[in-house]
Amino acid sequence: MDRFVLVTKKLSKRFPGVQALKDIDMEIRGGEIHSLVGANGAGKSTFAKIISGVYKDYEGEIFINGEKVVLDTPQKSFQYGISVVYQEVDSALIHYFTVAENLLMSSVTQYGSFVSQKKLVKIAKEKLKSLGLKLPFDLNTRVSELSVSQKQLLLIFKSLIHNSRLIIFDEPTSSLGPVEVEQLFEIIHSLKERGIAVLYISHRMPEIFTISDKITVFRDGRKIGTFPRDEVTPDDIIRYMIGKSSQKIEISSKEMSNTPILEIHRKSDESQKLVLYKGEVLGLTGLVGAGKTELLKEIYTGSKDLKVALDGKEVRIKTSTDAVKMGIYFLPEERRKEGLLIKENLIWNMLLPSFGDFANALGFMKDKEAAQVSKRFAEKLRVKFADLRQRVESLSGGNQQKLIIARWLIKNELKGARVILFDEPTVGIDVGAKEEIYNIVRTVAESGIGVIFSSSDIDEVLKVADRIVVMRDNKFIAEIERKDFSEEKILSLAAGRHEIVKN
Amino acid sequence: MGQSNINKGDLLRIIVAKYGVVIALGIVIALFGIITPNFMSVGNFTNILRSISVITVLSLGLTVALAAGAFNLAVTGIAGFAGALSAGLMVWNQLSAITSSVIALIVGMLMGAAIGLFVIYFRVDDLLASLGAMYIAQGMTLTYTGGLNIYSNMIKPSPGGGFTTAPGRISDGFIFMGQGMVGVIPMPVIIMFIVIVLVHIFLNNTKWGRNIYSVGSNPEAAYLAGIPVNGYKIFAYSLSGILAAFAGILLVARLGSAQIAESQALLLDCVAASYIGFSFLGQGKPNAFGTFIGAALMGIMVNGLSMLGVSYTTQDIFKGIILLLSLAISRLSQK
């Protein structure tokens, strides 16, 4: 139990033009939950990828159970008992295979060339039983029918079946709601009891302090230190991560406007309506899967089921193009997939909705003017960049997110926004950038724009919103004024506990 | 981030990614220049440029579609039909060169737009849909021409027996477009460069070009930024159709007649030229000058190998190698 499962000595990794990791010494014991924290670009993922065999050309030494090893392929790492539960669980599973097939995927060939589903289920059952594990869903289920947290559980069990000694969790809670997070933590604790080492990579302070035995902080590719959890505070850790203490947001208790700017009614259910007032930040929260993203997309890209009024006048939105023309803008949740043109430069990404506004009467682009405006906004939002013409793929998540925000602020300056919908604007970005984004959101609202700030992170909604609407199962279930804000209340509303108590 | 400490390996990779195709072009020219005595002459280069003029314009048709993330395998089919139509209208209907060409261009545009509409409305795979469209266009060409090449005052069997002589001619002005010279420069070469520059300016310096590239780069992000993605796809397909039709017309002008099977053979070269062009200057996306370089690389290979006496059946092996190399290079530029 007490042995070091993983030891690294002077582990380093270079990318073209960047030293991603420098001289990392780490020691992780069996039965230890070891958190790895750091801002974006600190080297956490690089470290995880080296250990899991993704990068073969690293420098330094790695020891597994005291034995010096070279981890140059993912298969090799897996054989040494290292497995990873990635943030993107989907990429690690085969969707049209069953749970049993996925559980045994890495070892399936050893059961003969032709394996029946029946036989696989039997083998999987036996293996799970011998380990004392029980899956809360059927082994014959197709993976495509599972929820995100069930997929995570599947991946964890798969690691256990294959005798993993170190399981790396890479931001495992970023797509989970609070209840699911709790379930995950229970599982992680049971891993600890089994003597398995856990490397837990995350941004989220409350989680890290709930779960870890030790916390290691990375900054700019170097290790700042490893601390027993009880000897540090979240503020210490944040200070180590960003090199300064985080600033708090002060919301002045201002007089709220009572001019509605956006009103939404669901035609199929008269009880479902939402009003957004001028200059207000409306926090929209609820568990993952409560229907927040779907609602925002319905508003933005049009839905036959919604009656939408803007400034008191009913409007008909059929596509995103209509919405943008009316001054309704949307910042999507999945930055890389839905927001960025990853191969294009900063200017391009900031001007994506505005090329027409920067063209002369003949359609020719006024590139100088476009570059000036882009530069002004990039600086205003404190985007860190070397060159406006560099591809955005090299930027950190926080900087990328700022570009997408800048995109709509530019459009606002040109055309005037009425409403901006932010969908999970701080997912996967570091603490410092989060605070900056809260400030931007507040400033946007203060200029008289209506803002919907949608997030599953209740803490941040409490911080930034003037009023909170809670969603559950695609319905609005509660509206709470700032003076009545309470985390427990919102959490229980979101999770549905409130109703059980009432009955 | 730390651009100062780029090591040698990275630098080489960057150079290859950026200038690989240009370097390849230089090497090929130098090699042929050394082995083949007559290769390095103004006359031969003029020949090469003339030989690639049609295929470059045709490839630009594909490039514009690719820029919007849309495949258009029907470019050769559209070119064939538009070419035959322009010739047929002159020869059988005695329309003027200009009227015939304009009608052929409009028909090409409509065919392109039809593919776009089909792909969007039925949400089908654009590669396969355009393959279907290619068959239709080829069939339309054969049906329209009755399987005959179209030339001035052509003779064709009448339905009632006997023969009919076509009343019209392919006008001299029309043929000048494909065969004329301005000083020492062939007319089709001048036209080719004009089209390259126009497509380049359109894609890079206009709001429509930016939006087309955006749609091609990430349609979902483009849509969520308020860009009418479907509209731009249909727009790109229409332009692709116009350029293909123009290539078809140019081919008729070059040959002095509509050779119905001529354009079909160009399809794979055309795909290769566009894809080779991706890696030009490390852009990693469809672009006009890259497409020209791609077509030139293929044209020079064919020319040089022919001068060396390599049969055209063997030449395809070299074309294949060039395409594979350039794909590898464009991959480098994306890393």
What is the pLDDT confidence band of residue B283, given thresholds at 50, 70 and 90?
confident
Average the pLDDT over each of A169-183, B18-32, B205-219 and give the range with the smallest value. Answer: A169-183
Contact A89, A146 (CB under 8 A): no
Q: Where are the domains of chain B?
A: 28-334
Average the pLDDT over each of A145-159, B40-54, B158-172 and give the range with the smallest value. Answer: A145-159
* Of A329 and A145, the one with more pLDDT: A329
What's the gap in Å between the CA of B62 and the closest CA on chain A? 21
Interface residues from chain A to B (CB-CB < 8 Å)? 16-19, 300-301, 319-321, 323-325, 329-330, 332, 337-344, 348, 351-353, 355-356, 358-359, 362-365, 367, 386, 394, 407
Residue of A nearest to B227 (CA): A321
Measured between CB atoms, which of A339, A358, A365 is closest to B221?
A339
As a residue count, chain B comes to 335
Measured between CB atoms, which of A321, A338, A364 is closest to B228?
A321
Partner-chain contact B2 A17, CB within 8 Å:
yes
Query: Does residue A252 carry a pLDDT above 90?
Result: no
Query: Does residue A498 carry a pLDDT above 50?
Result: no
The half-sphere exposure of B228 on its side-chain side, counting CA atoms within 13 A, is 12
What is the pLDDT confidence band of residue A502, given thresholds at 50, 70 and 90?
very low
What's the gap in Å between the CA of B206 and the closest CA on chain A? 4
A338-352 pLDDT, tens digit per residue, is 999 999 999 999 999
Please tell me what DSSP assigns to residue A496. T
Average pLDDT, integer, range A248-252: 53
Partner-chain contact A324 B226, CB within 8 Å:
yes
pLDDT at A500: 36
Chain A residues in contact with B10 by the CB 8 A cut-off are 16-17
Cα–Cα nearest to A393, from A361, A439, A348: A348
Contact A241, A37 (CB under 8 A): yes
pLDDT at A254: 58
The interface predicted TM-score (ipTM) is 0.89
**What distance separates the 2 farthest-apart alpha carbons in chain A?**
74
Chain A residues in contact with B2 by the CB 8 A cut-off are 17-19
Contact A22, A221 (CB under 8 A): yes
- Average pLDDT score, chain A: 86
Interface residues from chain B to A (CB-CB < 8 Å)? 1-3, 5-7, 10, 13, 205-208, 210-211, 213-214, 217-218, 220-228, 284-285, 334
Cα–Cα nearest to B219, from A340, A31, A374: A340
Partner-chain contact A17 B223, CB within 8 Å:
no
Average the pLDDT over each of A112-121, A152-161, B35-44, B220-229 and give the range with the smallest value. Answer: A112-121
Query: Does residue A471 carry a pLDDT above 60?
Result: yes
Strand partners, A227: A215
Average the pLDDT over each of A35-44, A138-147, A353-362, A486-495 and give the range with the smallest value. Answer: A486-495
Measured between CB atoms, which of A17, A337, A353 is closest to B5?
A17
What's the gap in Å between the CA of A6 and the closest CA on chain B? 31
Measured between CB atoms, which of B1, B211, B223 is closest to A355?
B211
Average pLDDT, integer, range A220-247: 79
**Backbone φ and ψ of A171, nearest 5°:** 45, 55
Instruction: Compute the distance between CA of residue B247 and CA of residue B253 in angstroms, rounded to an integer.
Output: 10
A276-334 pLDDT, tens digit per residue, is 999 999 999 987 778 899 999 999 999 999 999 999 999 999 999 999 999 999 999 98
pLDDT at B218: 95
Query: Does residue B236 carry a pLDDT above 50?
Result: yes
What is the pLDDT confidence band of residue B264, given thresholds at 50, 70 and 90?
confident
* Of B279 and A250, the one with more pLDDT: B279
Query: Does residue A161 carry a pLDDT above 70?
Result: yes
Query: Does residue B48 carry a pLDDT above 80?
Result: yes
What's the gap in Å between the CA of A420 and the closest CA on chain B? 12
Chain B residues in contact with A355 by the CB 8 A cut-off are 207, 210-211, 214
**Which residue is it, tokens 């993203």?**
A293
Backbone CA torsion sign across B222, B225, B230, B234: negative
pLDDT at A112: 66
B175-204 pLDDT, tens digit per residue, is 999 999 999 999 999 999 999 999 999 999
Q: Which domains does chain A have, with CATH numbers?
A: 4-242 (3.40.50.300), 260-502 (3.40.50.300)
Measured between CB atoms, which of A300, A329, A341 is closest to B221?
A341
Partner-chain contact A16 B10, CB within 8 Å:
yes
Average pLDDT, integer, range A219-235: 89
pLDDT at A245: 43
pLDDT at A243: 67
